[in-house]
Chains A and B, each alone.
Chain A
Amino acid sequence: MRTTSFDYTRATSIDEALGALASGAQVLAGGQSLLQSMKLRQASPQHLVDINELDELRAVDLEDGGLRLGALTRIAELCVIAEVAAMFPSLQQAAKLTADVQVRNRATIGGNLCFANPRSNMASTLISLRAEVTVRSDGGSRRLAVEELFSGYLQTVLSSGDLLTDVHLPDPGRDARGAYREISRQPNGVPVVNVAVAVAEGRVTGIGVGGLGVRPLRARLVEEALTHVDVNDPRAVDEAAALLAGDLASTEPLSDMHGSAEYRLEAAVVLLRRLVLATTNERG
């Protein structure tokens, strides 16, 4: 299929991009989701502003013991950046399982988040790492936690003039570990459910879950429960993981041909229990 016609601006500065966005343009980053929906004529934006020339959106910097990733960081880059491998191995695991190599070469971390697919590998993993994003607009800039970015199925809280510019991964803590796991019809397919767990000093510091609700979730109730139990005790961990049902109560459950709401919850609890036991009991 072919797209409807649209205006195209290749921005040479963030301000130029913000100006175009303020006048109603839509951001073109890696194009791996947007162009598909345009070709299917599910989306027909009148005006695209291409941000791929904005080098400041590609920077990867150490920042306060953590990492700042420019919004244009490609998923393929996450698979190979040494700092990501060393500090945030779960993010690298999740990146490697995202789509196929051609898509990973173009898809960006910012674009992935803004598409707000509830089953996004990136979203659940970044949530577990307590990542934040910087959002700029004509009016200035603000920061928000990744889990606060999503408002519904394929929807974010961003408004039309907003540009997501950076992802901030905070200091993972001492003896940090993390792991990502998904259930999918097959590797590199869209996950049915996915879970990411971050651990520091043997304690769980964050849990992100995708594919369970219509938006990616942070499993706060599970995180809280795990602070009170012995993470070496499978039964206790299992009971804590089961609180995921309560975390899901904050949003509408996802259900489709690949997984009923019931299956998704059941499978996510299993993944969560296994990941917590594995990451907290690892001896590096």
Chain B
Amino acid sequence: MNAHDSHSPADSNTGPEPFVGQSVRRTEDLRLLTGQGMFTDDAVVVDPVYCAILRSPHAHARIVSVDTSRAQAMPEVVLAISGAEAAEHWTQIPAGMDLMDMKLPKVYAIATDKVHYEGEPVAAVVAETRYAAEDALAAIDVEYEPLPAVASVEDALGVHPFDAPDGPWSPKAVLYEEWGHNIQCDWAFEIGDPDAVFASAPHVVSCRPAAHRYSGVPMETRAVVAEYDAGRETLKMRVSTQLPHQSRTLIAQILGLSEPNVQVLADDVGGGFGNKTQVDAEVIPALMAKLSGRAVKWFEPRGDWLSSGPASRDYAHHVEGAFDNDGTLLAIREHLVGDEGCDGATRSAGLGALLVGGTYSAGPYHVRSYKARVQAVVTNKAPYGAYRGYGKETANLAIERLMDTAAAKLGIDPVAIRQHNLVREFPYEMAAGPIIESGSFSQLLDMVTEAMDLPALRLRQEQARAEGRHVGIGVISFLEPSAGSIPMSVFNGYETASVRIMPDGKAMVLSGLQGIGQGVETSLAQITADRLGLHPGDVRIVYGDTKAVPYGLGAYASRGATYGMSAVYEAAGEVRRKLLKAAAGMLEVDPEDLELGRGEVWVAGVPTTRLSVQEVARAVYLSPGPYATLPGEESPTLEANHVWTNPNVSWVPDEHGRVRLYPTHGSGAQGVVVEVDVETGEIQIEKMWIAHDCGKVVNPAIVHGQIIGSTVQGLGGTMFEQLSYDDQGKLLTKTLNDYQLPNIMSVPPIEVLHMETPSPITPLGTKGVGEGGCIGTPAVLLSAVEDALREFGVTVERTPLDPMRVRALVRNAPQTAPVAG
């Protein structure tokens, strides 16, 4: 029994302790931990066939011919189809976003005339068994005419844009002939006359942070179970997706089906991380179901995820900062060049990450002059998708490396220069446009340095150096914009909720959010329970069924705590109003005199004059019914819908070209202690600290888990994970043996500290949470490693931090330091 249950209504006149703010145990965990989850492939369907996809072995090639006849003749094969054959039955993939003059490839889910990356689908089969389906792939004869592979930005443009921002370009080959070049988007804006500020600034520092290509690796890869009913012309699909509603829209459009005839179901999703925010290969099993008349199961092999999954990072960033003598940041100029692979807007949604990187490079610091240029370049690698961080880690690495560089050059303590520049007054309109609605940046940095006992660590560091050991300390701040809302895209800015109390007094919430492991079933139930005076266990959260739930936008950009929770809060508030009104009528008092909690409503100060919520609900719906209980109400049952939007989002570029895509801003600070073996390049991470502020915390245990999880993913990406290609665009990391995910032994102790600075724009004060560790961890690790190698005079600005690269920094260092024996 928890503290809440032990109270009785008579204990207090102010009502019971709210569930919001408590570590309510996650509703979903019992089924997940006991193997009762319903992931896509768990679905049992009648007489299924299995889909397998033939993928291109070439990074760039023209398809001369595809012959499926040998495969089609195999005994267990039901259907084999080429891209050209499929093109007769579907449309090209509609773009998930279309803004800022971005170029959009015109491609089908199965390539027709050309392949643009190793792993692009060129044919598909369905067969009676998975074995037979995979056997059949070997019997599909494809003739390719290989084209020169564009494996890098230099290949794509002939010159790096840092050296010639406007060309002229001399591409090794052009991916999409109709573009005439390989730049998908070129976006620039400036404000506050930055060039003049730079020209007169006492100090100008610059750095070139760069990140390698990596991405999320969810336990459940892409998966679909599709059933087509030819009589009704309906398609029922289970999809492992973060966006069930937009998936339905896009799939219906691609297949030419009426949207109401398509149902997308996503019960348990085995990992999202932003990776499952597109419709690409998912439509292939749907078409196969329509053409074969059989239920089709498709479960993507791990190697296919790695070769075709939406990849991330893979950029180079040139950042300059103008500083005054006292360390005041005066202006930022940045140039971000992203290697998107073959596409970041149609097949998947990574392009926006580069725009975010180019918008938020001031981080949590005050600056009034800002100039950004972002170039998104296409190459013959897998598509560029969303992944936890979504450019916010790019921005953070840039500004934090800049702060460290400036601190060293100006002889200012690295923590002091940050404190000097942190934004302290809110709301704060950033030079680049977004409005940071609230925050406690300076206090967060204090929290971290105090928890670290920074002076003691510095002393230990000196002692270690005297012994020839290289200990490094990193301290950074980070900004965590959340609830991304991109105009002209499937990632828009609203969320829906439908809340109802049923006649038995229990509540049902239909949310447009999507559960992907982040605990929305629990946190939304806590909010609803508080509003309706119920226990969270009496609130059923329904999502992931387009047939049941009003159109909503799902899970991406840490939007749940901003959009999803606020929609539920407001809808539940309307139900609460009607519940109290009905109860007031039944008790013959004013609604204002009533209190609500623990499933009951009672007269304040007279706890014996009470009704159960169930009694009120039954009265409203059935006995006697709404005419008696809610007379005059326009919608006289205990149900309400709400669509929540936000005024801090601005679609239309202003006169400087700026937009506001994130309404809420979490923040944090991080610290780390590392020791570098300068002879081998190995890094030992001793301990990490992270202070975090996501506004009002609904469930501390869930927030804690999000922070730890994102920190470990940030660490894995910075240290171990890598999608590596050779110079012919061939993927070198096709298994998890080579693409190394962080294991438990690689994770240092992580101390999490919390602060709550409520957001003034959400009704509960909540802000998004989930990406912070991914945003700050790369910067804090690079900062610490540079600190450890300070006597060598090296700059650490590129990832991954693997032993070979760290050793190369030392070997090629401008200064040499004595090494212990």
Q: Is A271 an interface residue (CB 8 A)?
A: yes
**Contact A186–B803 (Cβ < 8 Å):** no
Which range holds the interface residue count of chain A?
Answer: 20 to 34
Interface stretch (choices A168-176, A242-250, A252-260): A252-260
Give the contacts of B785-821 with A (CB-CB under 8 A).
Answer: 802-804, 807-808, 811, 821
Q: A2-B130, A257-B724 are in contact. Are A263 and B807 (CB under 8 A)?
A: yes
Contacts of B681 in A (CB 8 A): 263, 267
Contacts of B735 in A (CB 8 A): 36, 40
Contacts of B719 in A (CB 8 A): 185-186
Interface stretch (choices A142-150, A187-195, A215-223): A187-195
Q: A2-B130, A41-B134, A267-B807 are in contact. Are A185 and B680 (CB under 8 A)?
A: no
Q: Is A270 an interface residue (CB 8 A)?
A: yes
Q: A2-B131, A257-B722, A267-B680 are in contact. Are A187 and B803 (CB under 8 A)?
A: no
**Contact B740–A1 (Cβ < 8 Å):** no
Kindly provide the distance from the CB of B578 to the nearest chain A CB, expressed in whole angstroms: 55
Taken together as a complex, chains A and B put the C-alpha atoms of A2 and B732 apart, in Å, by 21
Q: Select which of B131, B732, B743 is within 8 A of A257 by beta carbon.
A: B732
Contacts of A271 in B (CB 8 A): 680
Q: Select which of A40, A256, A263 is within 8 A of B808 by beta carbon.
A: A263
Q: Which of A5, A100, A257, A270 has the most CB of B within 10 A?
A: A257
Contacts of B301 in A (CB 8 A): 1
Q: Is A227 an interface residue (CB 8 A)?
A: no
Taken together as a complex, chains A and B put the C-alpha atoms of A266 and B679 apart, in Å, by 8
Taken together as a complex, chains A and B put the C-alpha atoms of A41 and B734 apart, in Å, by 13
Contact with B along A34-73 (1 / 0, CB 8 A): 0010001100000000000000000000000000000000
Query: For residue A1, which residue of chain B has the nearest CB?
Result: B301
Query: For residue A266, which residue of chain B has the nearest CB?
Result: B807
**Contact A270–B134 (Cβ < 8 Å):** no
Q: Select which of A3, A185, A234, A266 is within 8 A of B802 by beta carbon.
A: A185
Contacts of A100 in B (CB 8 A): 743
Kindly provide the distance from the CB of B265 to the nearest chain A CB, expressed in whole angstroms: 26
Contacts of A263 in B (CB 8 A): 681, 803-804, 807-808
Q: Is A4 an interface residue (CB 8 A)?
A: yes
Q: Select which of B679, B722, B743, B808 is within 8 A of A188 by beta carbon.
A: B743
Q: Select which of A40, A41, A186, A260 is within 8 A of B740 by beta carbon.
A: A186
**Contact A186–B682 (Cβ < 8 Å):** no
Query: For residue B747, which residue of chain A has the nearest CB?
Result: A186
Give the contacts of B711-761 with A (CB-CB under 8 A).
Answer: 719-720, 722, 724, 732-735, 737-738, 740, 742-743, 745-746
Q: Is B631 an interface residue (CB 8 A)?
A: no
Q: Which of A36, A100, A190, A263 has the most CB of B within 10 A?
A: A263
Contacts of B130 in A (CB 8 A): 2
Contacts of A5 in B (CB 8 A): 131, 135
Majority SS at the chain B contact face:
loop
Q: Is A183 an interface residue (CB 8 A)?
A: yes
**Contact B807–A234 (Cβ < 8 Å):** no
Kindly provide the distance from the CB of A175 to the nearest chain B CB, expressed in whole angstroms: 24
Kindly provide the distance from the CB of A184 to the nearest chain B CB, expressed in whole angstroms: 8
Give the contacts of B678-722 with A (CB-CB under 8 A).
Answer: 679-682, 719-720, 722
Query: For residue B800, which residue of chain A has the nearest CB?
Result: A185
Taken together as a complex, chains A and B put the C-alpha atoms of A104 and B216 apart, in Å, by 27
Contacts of B733 in A (CB 8 A): 257
Taken together as a complex, chains A and B put the C-alpha atoms of A192 and B811 apart, in Å, by 18
**Contact A185–B679 (Cβ < 8 Å):** no
Q: A186-B742, A190-B737 are in contact. Are A2 and B134 (CB under 8 A)?
A: yes
Q: Is B303 an interface residue (CB 8 A)?
A: yes
Kindly provide the distance from the CB of A106 to the nearest chain B CB, expressed in whole angstroms: 16
Q: Select which of A1, A192, A259, A277 is within 8 A of B303 by beta carbon.
A: A1
**Contact A186–B804 (Cβ < 8 Å):** no
Taken together as a complex, chains A and B put the C-alpha atoms of A277 and B821 apart, in Å, by 10
Q: Select which of A3, A186, A190, A270 is within 8 A of B679 by beta carbon.
A: A270
Query: For residue A268, which residue of chain B has the nearest CB?
Result: B680
Taken together as a complex, chains A and B put the C-alpha atoms of A257 and B800 apart, in Å, by 11
Contacts of B303 in A (CB 8 A): 1, 40
Contacts of B740 in A (CB 8 A): 185-186, 189
Query: For residue A256, which residue of chain B has the nearest CB?
Result: B732
Taken together as a complex, chains A and B put the C-alpha atoms of A263 and B746 apart, in Å, by 22
Taken together as a complex, chains A and B put the C-alpha atoms of A258 and B733 apart, in Å, by 11
Q: A1-B301, A257-B722 are in contact. Are A267 and B803 (CB under 8 A)?
A: yes
Kindly provide the distance from the CB of A95 to the nearest chain B CB, expressed in whole angstroms: 15
Contacts of A36 in B (CB 8 A): 735
Contacts of A260 in B (CB 8 A): 804
**Contact A4–B135 (Cβ < 8 Å):** yes
Taken together as a complex, chains A and B put the C-alpha atoms of A192 and B806 apart, in Å, by 14
Kindly provide the distance from the CB of A103 to the nearest chain B CB, expressed in whole angstroms: 10
Kindly provide the distance from the CB of A193 to the nearest chain B CB, expressed in whole angstroms: 9
Q: A189-B720, A257-B733 are in contact. Are A183 and B680 (CB under 8 A)?
A: yes
Contacts of B738 in A (CB 8 A): 190, 257-258
Q: Select which of B732, B803, B808 is within 8 A of A183 by beta carbon.
A: B803
Taken together as a complex, chains A and B put the C-alpha atoms of A187 and B743 apart, in Å, by 8
Q: Select which of A41, A192, A234 is within 8 A of B803 by beta carbon.
A: A192
Contact with B along A147-172 (1 / 0, CB 8 A): 00000000000000000000000000
Contacts of A183 in B (CB 8 A): 680, 682, 803
Query: For residue A40, which residue of chain B has the nearest CB?
Result: B303
Q: Which of A41, A186, A259 has the most CB of B within 10 A?
A: A186
Kindly provide the distance from the CB of B288 to the nearest chain A CB, expressed in whole angstroms: 18
Contact with A along B410-433 (1 / 0, CB 8 A): 000000000000000000000000
Taken together as a complex, chains A and B put the C-alpha atoms of A183 and B680 apart, in Å, by 8
Taken together as a complex, chains A and B put the C-alpha atoms of A187 and B303 apart, in Å, by 23
Taken together as a complex, chains A and B put the C-alpha atoms of A12 and B156 apart, in Å, by 60
Taken together as a complex, chains A and B put the C-alpha atoms of A41 and B752 apart, in Å, by 45
Contact with B along A103-132 (1 / 0, CB 8 A): 000000000000000000000000000000
Query: For residue A44, which residue of chain B has the nearest CB?
Result: B138
Contacts of A257 in B (CB 8 A): 722, 724, 732-733, 738
Contact with A along B129-147 (1 / 0, CB 8 A): 0110011001000000000
Contacts of A189 in B (CB 8 A): 720, 740, 743
Taken together as a complex, chains A and B put the C-alpha atoms of A112 and B679 apart, in Å, by 30
Contacts of B746 in A (CB 8 A): 186-187
Q: Select which of B131, B743, B821 is within 8 A of A3 by beta carbon.
A: B131
Taken together as a complex, chains A and B put the C-alpha atoms of A36 and B682 apart, in Å, by 29
Taken together as a complex, chains A and B put the C-alpha atoms of A100 and B301 apart, in Å, by 21
Kindly provide the distance from the CB of A262 to the nearest chain B CB, expressed in whole angstroms: 9
Contact with B along A61-91 (1 / 0, CB 8 A): 0000000000000000000000000000000
Query: For residue A259, which residue of chain B has the nearest CB?
Result: B804
Q: A1-B301, A40-B735, A41-B134 are in contact. Are A185 and B720 (CB under 8 A)?
A: yes
Taken together as a complex, chains A and B put the C-alpha atoms of A188 and B680 apart, in Å, by 18
Kindly provide the distance from the CB of B443 to the nearest chain A CB, expressed in whole angstroms: 34
Contacts of A267 in B (CB 8 A): 679-681, 803, 807
**Contact B131–A186 (Cβ < 8 Å):** no
Query: For residue A267, which residue of chain B has the nearest CB?
Result: B680
Taken together as a complex, chains A and B put the C-alpha atoms of A36 and B134 apart, in Å, by 15
Q: Other than the known A185-B740, A189-B740, what 15 A-B pairs have Cβ atoms closer than 8 Å?
A: A4-B135, A41-B134, A41-B138, A185-B719, A185-B720, A186-B743, A186-B746, A187-B746, A189-B743, A190-B737, A257-B724, A263-B681, A263-B808, A267-B807, A277-B821
A-B contact pairs, 26 of them (CB 8 A): A1-B301, A2-B134, A5-B131, A40-B303, A40-B735, A100-B743, A186-B719, A186-B742, A186-B745, A187-B745, A189-B740, A190-B738, A256-B732, A257-B722, A258-B738, A258-B804, A259-B803, A259-B804, A263-B681, A263-B803, A263-B808, A266-B807, A266-B811, A267-B679, A267-B807, A271-B680
Q: Give B residues with C-beta under 8 Å from A.
A: 130-131, 134-135, 138, 301, 303, 679-682, 719-720, 722, 724, 732-735, 737-738, 740, 742-743, 745-746, 802-804, 807-808, 811, 821
Please name the 7 residue pairs, one residue from A and one from B, whose CB atoms are nearest each other, closest first: A187-B745, A186-B746, A263-B804, A257-B724, A1-B301, A234-B821, A270-B679
